[in-house]
């Protein structure tokens, strides 16, 4: 039989107060202890669960969310390492594009002598942000800055590309939230099933490039549809849209 201990020893081993342990137990966050007459007997499963609850709280989960994850009767209890590995996967980047600090010389070289006024326009559109020290610039998305410069070279001014970027972000943010909700509500049926955290991590690694490619494909199809509709409406519709 595994080593067992009483409530106060569990509290000493875990650093969690007895009152809190009782509360967690009442909320379904801990497995039921073995009863020895009137005494509750705990073991390493309870200590592990207390560590897991603490780790997940540190990551911002509410007790209700933690109960949904690990507190259901009959559900296999995963280790802290399992859950934190899955947590790390869920928080992992979906893009290699990261903010960068440029000094003035680097940013000037990036702009490549495209003419006066461009840096100010990029700053107004939010592509670059001057830092307090004056000679440093924060570029929140180097990839988007590069796209803005390519559009500028093609005749699309920075103010317009910035508005297009913001429009896309607003609409795609809603779409991303809806997709995450969809996959979350189908977890255990259409997605995940009896998968281990390692299986889910592998699925997400596969999903990342597929999601990017699918989003790009669908967006291209929808742009094509919108342009065809505009052409079919005729020159009058184009003139009205320009007013």
111: left (phi over 0), alpha (psi -120 to 50) or beta: alpha
Residue ranges of alpha helices (H) inside 133-233 are: 142-153, 158-185, 197-233
Give the pLDDT score at 113.
Answer: 87
Give the pLDDT score at 74.
Answer: 46
Q: Return d(Cα 126, Cα 123) in angstroms, integer.
A: 5
72 CB-side CA count, 13 A: 7
pLDDT in tens, 51-106: 888 888 887 777 877 777 775 444 555 555 565 666 666 666 777 788 899 999 99
CATH top class, domain 7-91? mainly alpha
Q: Is the pTM of this model over 0.85?
A: no
Structure tokens at 217: 């494909």
**pLDDT cut 90: percent of the chain above it:** 35
pLDDT in tens, 148-201: 999 999 999 999 999 999 999 999 999 988 887 777 666 556 655 555 666 666
44 close to 80: Cβ distance less than 8 angstroms: no
What's the mean per-residue pLDDT of the chain? Answer: 82
Q: Return d(Cα 125, Cα 169) in angstroms, integer.
A: 14
Q: What number of other Cβ atoms are within 10 A of residue 29's Cβ?
A: 20
């Amino acid at each position: 039989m595994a080593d067992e201990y009483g409530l106060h020893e569990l509290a000493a081993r875990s650093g969690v107060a007895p009152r809190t342990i009782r509360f967690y137990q009442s909320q379904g966050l801990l497995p039921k202890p073995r009863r020895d007459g009137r005494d509750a007997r705990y073991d390493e499963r309870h200590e592990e669960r207390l560590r897991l609850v603490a780790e997940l709280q540190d990551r911002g989960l509410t007790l209700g969310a933690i109960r949904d994850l690990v507190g259901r009767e009959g559900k296999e209890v995963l280790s802290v390492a399992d859950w934190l590995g899955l947590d790390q996967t869920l928080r992992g980047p979906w893009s290699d594009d990261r903010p960068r600090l440029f000094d003035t010389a680097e940013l000037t070289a990036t702009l490549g002598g495209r003419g006066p006024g461009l840096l100010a326009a990029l700053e107004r559109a939010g592509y670059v942000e001057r830092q307090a020290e004056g000679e440093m610039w924060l570029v929140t998305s180097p990839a988007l800055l590069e796209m803005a410069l390519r559009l500028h070279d093609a005749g699309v001014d920075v103010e317009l590309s910035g508005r297009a970027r913001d429009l896309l972000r607003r609409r795609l943010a809603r779409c991303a939230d809806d997709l995450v909700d969809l996959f979350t509500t189908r977890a255990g049926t259409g997605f995940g099933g009896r998968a281990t955290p390692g299986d889910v991590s592998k699925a997400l690694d596969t999903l990342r490039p597929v999601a990017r490619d699918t989003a790009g494909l669908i967006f291209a199809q929808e742009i094509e549809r919108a342009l065809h509709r505009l052409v079919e409406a005729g020159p009058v519709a184009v003139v009205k849209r320009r007013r």
